[in-house]
Structure 1
Amino acid sequence: MQDDEPKDIAERPQWDNQVQYLLTCIGFTVGLGSVWRFPYLCQTYGGGAFLIPYAIALVFEGLPLLHIELAIGQRLRMGSIGVWNSISPYMGGLGVASLAVSFLISLFYNMIIAWILWYLFHSFQSPLPWRDCPINLNHTGYESECEKASAVNYFWYRETLNITPNIETSGSFQWWLVLCLATAWCLVYICFIRGIETIGKAIYVTVTFPYLVLTIFLIRSLTLPGATDGLIYLFTPDWETLKNPDVWLDASTQIFFSLSLAFGGLIAFSSYSVQKNDCERDALIVGFMNSFTSIYASIPIFAILGFKANENFNKCRNWNILRLTNSFNIGDENITLENYDDWFNHFNNTDPSEVESLNLKTCNLQTF
């Protein structure tokens, strides 16, 4: 440390160990962008096709910018605003902009945490409230609104949000969500109450526990019938999709969002690291760990999607089998899911007009 450095910089606290620092950076980067938005983009752009521009954006955009943020924070040992002001007074607005971005993102992230807490509180009962539709006031059946949608959607829109029919109608005060939101902010305050001292301790749980949950989901999802169909869709690229410029734009945006670049947090975390730390190695670890988590979280999601698609696909074919069986007066056990294609081709060749009159459903596994 040079003697002419300001006293507050020279006395800046440091992480207890390198593991705390890396876990904090990983916990900061790995979030909803990795476990929620990444699988959605993979599904939107044909599974494996999105992985190609994503990997290119990671190497040429994500890792260099991540390295820069870790390096300048570690070298100047200041937060985002202080770093950019030190580089040039005209660049101080970048630090303020980073602060504004982090504040706005924390608002909706904590709202999502509040919803999670609400569902967590309701999960300590059996049966789960979103498993079945509630009974109507007359006790003559289920709520008609729930029957038209589903129990899951009803609990979300009516019990959780109590959403109004349109944006012009004002809703009532949802005190239960306010309590959950206040609890979420209290948890954030507890983690930050003593700076990196409490962050470094809490990070051992807040970072490792989600990986444990993801592993449980992974094991369970891989045992579901049809899971392999979802994984095939995830890792099989549709090369025609790469001609769409939106794929490349969304991949670049995803790298920025998932690595939390320009949020200011990585600069602040690295400022508590020793100046001679290998920040290039840290950037590689954090960047690749974030991408690994994105794929790791996508596997159970696509396995479950494959399971649901197979269920709907089989329901569709069973409906067609019933129509064919009744129309052509054949035994109930003759047409099965395994030989459905053979029977359909046979009837379509021998009596196409009759088959057309049945209005059979088009059963495509990809569309389910």
Structure 2
Amino acid sequence: MAGGSAAAAPERETWTSSTGFILAAVGSAVGLGNIWRFPGVAYESGGGAFLIPYLVALLTAGIPILFLDYAVGHRYRGAAPLSYRRMARPAEALGWFQIVLSFVIAVYYAAVIAWSLSYFVFAFDLRWGEDTAAFFVGEYLQVGEPGISTTLVSGVAVPLVLVWAAVLVIIALGVTKGVQRVNIIFIPLLVLAFGGLVVRALTLPGAADGLNALFTPDWAALADPAVWIAAYSQIFFSLSIAFGIMVTYASYQRRRANMTSSGLVVAFANSSFEILAGIGVFATLGFLAHQQATTIDQLEGLSGPILSFVTFPAVISEMPGGAVFGAVFFGALVLAGFTSIISILLGVAASVQEKFGLTHRTAAVTVCVVCSVISIGLFSTTSGLIALDTVDQWANNVGIVVSAIAMTVLIVWVFRTAPVLRAHLNRVSTFRVGRVWVVLVGGLAPVVLTTMLVQRVRTLVTEGYEGYPAWYLLVFGWGTIGLVAVGALVLTLIPWRGRDDAGFRAWPELEEEQR
């Protein structure tokens, strides 16, 4: 294709409707973090009062950066590397940084989906027994000391193979036949399943105590800068922004797509699900505290994987009809994780396809096979949990934040493309963005993100992480960021083989093309 004409290039696949795009974008945003991260962050950051900085963060950073991703993808019609390259050739490296980061995240994210799949099966006979912590860490994951293990845990490896097989099939089927079709089925099913869990949780003894613990406002917390940083952090990580996913998704939108209105629906749907998750989780924790004759603040494991795989199994074992509740809960985790990982891998596969001139199916198979080999070889071993925990900490709290800072600064201040992108959004959308959008994206967002990054890096450098050895954090923590940076540089330097920009024109350009 490199030597052909623009007219000979295959037509880019598109979502069949705005509904298909919105459901896919919601599926990407609504993931495991919505269920196990938001409730704990809200509880620790002022309870009901946390909703104020949360809403402010959504309006001043989350939605504006989501719009930025949409504008880049829709105007330049490519996965992140190609879209950024078309915007400004040196920006291609930023696109590859985001895509290599997505690759890393997909590799370990699949392992958590595999755990959820295993626990879906375990729920039917409450196989985790009375000591759920010992079962998760010992009998199931067989966790050893921090290090590099070659001992595979079959109970993790088998479901992980199944997860990767399913992901490969969906990505290979393409945007409309694969990703869109899965989200049209899975997202309503996820909302229905989780809604049923919340209703059941609210009927349990002690549920009101759990909700009081979550929503009773601590107004003094609003004076704590850490609470505001936590709000921006939660919004930022929740919306799947700034690491190539939404750029790729937007690139498959039709020419006349209403980008900003779709973005508002996605953002508020994601936040609504987070609040729903908070209600369900804390109503259930209230029941556990009631059963143990204690209070919420005395419970352990109120967020993260421990909440899902240790605390919740303990709750499920205590409640009437726990097997059904458990199966639905872990089934919901599988659905939420699966819709997220296919969005991550679609961006990686599309980038490889465009760079190397491969067919979509060849790129999808290549990417998924490489990912699955690394994923199974690293995260289904006895050191898998510790490796996953470490890589996730650096990828999310360092890698994605660096990506977002670079994206906002480069677009607004270096390449000065923000006015063009703003005009693009306003030409194709009914909800118009004003000049304040540029201020938020180029001013407030980089300041808040830089504050988050400096604070986190200082903590990681001075205090380490979870007591893991320094050499281990250097290899799996800082080494992850180094790998992403080197990978981005190498992929940028490789000559393009698979695209022809001879006839490329950004959308829309001419007055008659404008709405």
Letter in 2 for 1:277: A
Could you tell me which of 265, 269, 277 is aligned with 1:289? 269
Please name the residue that 2:235 is paired with: 255
Between the aligned partners of 2:261 and 2:148, the Cα distance in structure 1 is 54
C-alpha deviation, 1:57, in angstroms:
0.6
Q: Map of 1:110-129 to 2, 5 A cutoff?
A: 110-124=110-124, 126=125, 128-129=126-127
Deviation by residue 1:270-293 (Cα, 9 ceiling, x = unmatched): 111112211110110000001001
Between the aligned partners of 1:305 and 1:365, the Cα distance in structure 2 is 7
| Structure 1 pair 153–192 and aligned structure 2 pair: CA distance change class (3 A) | same
Q: Does 1:311 align with 2:291?
A: yes
Q: Map of 1:15-30 to 2, 5 A cutoff?
A: 15-30=15-30
Alignment TM-score, normalising by the size of structure 2: 0.54
C-alpha deviation, 1:366, in angstroms:
4.7
Please name the residue that 1:62 is paired with: 62
Please name the residue that 1:356 is paired with: none
Between the aligned partners of 1:66 and 1:107, the Cα distance in structure 2 is 24
Please name the residue that 1:80 is paired with: 80
Between the aligned partners of 1:239 and 1:27, the Cα distance in structure 2 is 33
**1:193 is paired with a residue of what secondary structure?**
helix
Deviation by residue 1:43-70 (Cα, 9 ceiling, x = unmatched): 2223212221111110000111111211
Letter in 1 for 2:290: N
8 Å Cα contact 1:46-1:233 kept in structure 2: no
Please name the residue that 1:330 is paired with: none
Could you tell me which of 166, 169, 189 is aligned with 1:187? 166
8 Å Cα contact 1:9-1:77 kept in structure 2: no
Between the aligned partners of 1:23 and 1:208, the Cα distance in structure 2 is 9
Between the aligned partners of 1:35 and 1:271, the Cα distance in structure 2 is 28
Between the aligned partners of 1:207 and 1:107, the Cα distance in structure 2 is 23
| Structure 1 pair 215–9 and aligned structure 2 pair: CA distance change class (3 A) | farther
Between the aligned partners of 2:249 and 2:150, the Cα distance in structure 1 is 41
Deviation by residue 1:192-250 (Cα, 9 ceiling, x = unmatched): 11210211111122222221221121111000111112112222210111222211112
Please name the residue that 2:44 is paired with: 44
Q: Does 1:279 align with 2:277?
A: no
Between the aligned partners of 2:208 and 2:7, the Cα distance in structure 1 is 59
C-alpha deviation, 1:168, in angstroms:
6.0
C-alpha deviation, 1:163, in angstroms:
1.8
Alignment TM-score, normalising by the size of structure 1: 0.75
8 Å Cα contact 1:29-1:290 kept in structure 2: yes
Deviation by residue 1:137-185 (Cα, 9 ceiling, x = unmatched): xxxxxxxxxxxxx2x1222122211123x33695842122112111111
Between the aligned partners of 2:105 and 2:272, the Cα distance in structure 1 is 23
| Structure 1 pair 43–8 and aligned structure 2 pair: CA distance change class (3 A) | farther
8 Å Cα contact 2:80-2:98 kept in structure 1: yes
Q: Does 1:99 align with 2:99?
A: yes
**1:186 is paired with a residue of what secondary structure?**
helix
Deviation by residue 1:94-147 (Cα, 9 ceiling, x = unmatched): 1011102211221221010111122223334x3x21134xxxxxxxxxxxxxxx
Greater helix share, 1 or 2? 2
Q: Does 1:205 align with 2:198?
A: no
C-alpha deviation, 1:311, in angstroms:
2.9
Could you tell me which of 209, 217, 231 is aligned with 2:197? 217
When the two chains are superposed, the root-mean-square deviation of aligned CA atoms in Å is: 2.1
| Structure 1 pair 8–100 and aligned structure 2 pair: CA distance change class (3 A) | farther
Deviation by residue 1:291-313 (Cα, 9 ceiling, x = unmatched): 00100111010101222223333
Larger radius of gyration between Structure 1 and Structure 2: 1
Between the aligned partners of 2:298 and 2:117, the Cα distance in structure 1 is 33
8 Å Cα contact 2:74-2:247 kept in structure 1: yes
Between the aligned partners of 1:241 and 1:123, the Cα distance in structure 2 is 38
Letter in 2 for 1:230: G
C-alpha deviation, 1:10, in angstroms:
7.6
Q: Does 1:231 align with 2:211?
A: yes
8 Å Cα contact 1:54-1:252 kept in structure 2: yes
